[in-house]
Structure 1
Amino acid sequence: MRLPRRLAVIAAVACLVLSGCGAEPPAEPPAKSIEIAFVPKVQSIAYFDAMNGGGLRAADVLGVRWTYRGPLTADAAEQAAIVREFVARGVNVIVVAPNDPESIAPVVAEAKAKGIRVLTTDTDAPNSGRELFVNQASAESIGRALTDELMRKTGGTGQYAIVSCGPTAANLNAWIAVQKAYTAQNYAGAQIVDIVHVGEDQNAAAAKAKELMAAHPELNGLVGECTTSAPGVAKAVREAGRIGQVFTVGVGTPQTMKEYLRDGSASASVLWDVENLGYLTAWAAKQAADGKVPEPLNNVSPELPAVRYNGADKTLVLGDPLLITNDNVDQFDY
């Protein structure tokens, strides 16, 4: 039997009000996922791949998306173009390790104009307008450690040269400035005879190191200032048959340095936990996306329970440098 029209209308209204007619209440729309884009100096070298691994691990814990893409060589223009692609895509946060702190500044401004948060990591661009810098260790501590480790092998005397990578890389240049001043102040018998730049190219570093040994017959030390030149200078010493005569230290990842630490063509690598640097980078990016400023002391993870933040220069510091030698190199899988 059909209900009178008026009763049918009343029943329908009651059904909607009480939600008792089998229909589920409308679901809340899903929260938008935060996307963090990491743009390294160079993609697919061991160092930045290890940083990427730490970032992915953090992204899984933090519930964010992490994207990794950089130039194939240390090319500032190509890096800027990649950042612009992420700006056009509308990611939430861009974290860049700039090849050139000056040329990245206009791109940072473009991103900020679109409401995208921009951080730097590994190397800074302090005048770019970036929101925060995730630093691996202080320039002073890295420069001193490189110098002290080399001087420990040379007896604090002799001539040494530095084989660096990108000539505009702010972090490398800051370390070199410390090495120059620290050597002059603390090792009167030692002298830096040359500083050269070879880009992020291990073979170019090896070739240049051989040229330096030929040009300076009294040379007894080489410093590889980045993770491609560190194994490069050690390879040159090995191939030149100068192990035990020319000592090398550098900023190299454990597995790329392992064979050279084993045979003595490299004495030590001054580094930090690269995977933890990637983790801290992702954590800082999530903080920025949430509109949060780090505390002076931050419990980031069980491995990073006390990360310091300096509000004056907006810098998070991972910690002290890590010395990698033949004795502990097997503790690291990157």
Structure 2
Amino acid sequence: MSFTLTRRSRSGLTVVATLTALALTATACGSDGGSDSGSGSGSGDGGGGEDLAITFIPKNLGNPYFDASQVGGESAAEEFGGTFEQVGPTEATPDSQVSFINTATQQQAGALVVSANDPEAIGSALEQARDIDIPVVTMDSDTNPEYRDVFVAQADAEGIAQAQVDLVAEQIGDEGEVAILSAAANATNQNEWIELMEAELEENHPDIELVDVVYGDDDDQKSFDETAALLQSNPDLAGIISPTTVGIAAAARYLSTSEFQGEVALTGLGTPNQMREYIEDGTVEAFALWNPEELGYLSAYAASALAAGDISGEEGDTFTAGDLGEYTVGADGVVVLGEPTVFDESNIDDFDF
């Protein structure tokens, strides 16, 4: 079964892609709980809109995915008259973001947007920010819900997981051994997707066996080395799923010059600019992702709405995110960007991020 996803980007380009058996639903992520302590305007340059000083703290710097979300965040801040800064660690480790959060709090940032490396490790630092009414938005990878006001999710978690399973199943004939090359072992989004992929494989793909899950820590060289080790340890491997843009690009780089090119399928989540050459040389047939620039753009607007007091993160709150239009906050303070897009040789040249 297949159907077509259509979405319009901020540039006005309509994107059409076909996903096999992908059913996206707007379900909530996280657990009950949460605080309203960050729903007011920031005590520094807060207030939303003009003069809002917004600080983005990604999992790590030098990551093309977060370079793209930075472009979106900067664009949004320019539109609503705020200022933008992106700071963060060079390595995506559980506690590496704490010092950057503490510094932003001490400087009384107007709002924080954080992609969490761990659901718990940065919780105390975020609570300190919210204690002085700095709104906290998590983006891409969530904390526990009580540590933030709103989580801007890329897409529905079940849909992301199923899209990747469906892609690998189609490419390996729905049978054989597969492995997962993930990012950090503590990454909230990665672990949720892996759990959902395991359930999807068990329930609907009995002839596919998940033989290993390894972690490249969103580091190019480590992900490259883990790919090599996977193939050495599993000589019958039919496919690799890498739900991380750093991982899939590193795995593709390894496969492209190895005897496994064209023999071992690779799919997951990647950016078109990283993966274009591997689509063109046949290393990769298809992969998926949402637009990370739009994710950063939406997250900045959510932060602005919180700082202005237009929303508090309660279910049913609505706000307008510039050219993306109106969004509604769902259960547990979750805002969903939209559906992922599948990229292959037919459409990859339509994108530049």
Tell me the TM-score range normalised by the shorter chain: 0.7 to 0.9
How far apart are 1:77 and its partner, in Å? 2.5
How far apart are 1:296 and its partner, in Å? 5.4
Q: 1:300 aligns with which of 321, 336, 348?
A: 321
Q: Which shifted more, 122-131 or 101-110?
A: 122-131
| Separation (CA, whole Å) in 2 of partners of 1:212 and 1:244 | 16
Alignment of 1:65 with 2:83, yes or no, is yes
Alignment correspondent of 2:10: none
How far apart are 1:162 and its partner, in Å? 0.3
Q: Per the alignment, in what secondary structure is the counterpart of residue 287 of structure 2?
A: strand
Q: 1:218 aligns with which of 223, 236, 257?
A: 236
| Separation (CA, whole Å) in 2 of partners of 1:170 and 1:191 | 24
Alignment correspondent of 1:9: none
Pair 331,297 (structure 1): closer, same or farther in 2 beyond 3 Å: farther
Alignment correspondent of 2:208: 190
| Separation (CA, whole Å) in 2 of partners of 1:278 and 1:225 | 19
Alignment correspondent of 1:333: 352
Pair 290,245 (structure 1): closer, same or farther in 2 beyond 3 Å: same
How far apart are 1:270 and its partner, in Å? 1.3
How far apart are 1:298 and its partner, in Å? 4.8
How far apart are 1:306 and its partner, in Å? 4.7
CA RMSD of aligned residues (A): 1.6
Which of structure 1's runs of 4+ aligned residues deviate more than 6 A?
Answer: none
How far apart are 1:66 and its partner, in Å? 1.2
Q: 1:50 aligns with which of 62, 68, 88?
A: 68
Counterpart contact for 1:106–1:128, Cα < 8 Å? no
Alignment correspondent of 1:25: none
Pair 114,165 (structure 1): closer, same or farther in 2 beyond 3 Å: same
Q: 1:309 aligns with which of 326, 329, 334?
A: 329
Counterpart contact for 1:210–1:240, Cα < 8 Å? no
Alignment correspondent of 1:137: 155
AA in 2 matched with 1:165: A
Q: 1:160 aligns with which of 163, 178, 191?
A: 178
Counterpart contact for 2:224–2:250, Cα < 8 Å? yes
TM-score by length of 1: 0.87
| Separation (CA, whole Å) in 2 of partners of 1:33 and 1:139 | 34
Alignment correspondent of 2:140: 122
How far apart are 1:51 and its partner, in Å? 0.2
| Separation (CA, whole Å) in 2 of partners of 1:291 and 1:269 | 39
Q: Percent identity?
A: 32
What residue ranges of structure 1 are gaps of 5+ in the alignment?
1-30
Normalized per residue, the structure richer in helix is 1
Counterpart contact for 1:39–1:82, Cα < 8 Å? yes
TM-score by length of 2: 0.82
| Separation (CA, whole Å) in 1 of partners of 2:290 and 2:74 | 18
How far apart are 1:274 and its partner, in Å? 0.9
Alignment correspondent of 2:9: none
Q: Deviations over 1:200-257 (max 9, x none)?
A: 1122112111111111111010011201001111122222221221000021111111
Pair 262,32 (structure 1): closer, same or farther in 2 beyond 3 Å: closer
Alignment correspondent of 2:262: 244
What residue ranges of structure 2 are gaps of 5+ in the alignment?
1-48
State the structure with more CA Rg.
1
Counterpart contact for 1:234–1:266, Cα < 8 Å? yes
Alignment correspondent of 2:95: 77
AA in 2 matched with 1:309: V
Q: Superposed, which structure 2 residues align to 1:31-50 within 5 Å?
A: 33-50=51-68
Greater relative contact order, per chain length (Cα 8 Å cut-off, separation 6+): 2
AA in 2 matched with 1:63: G
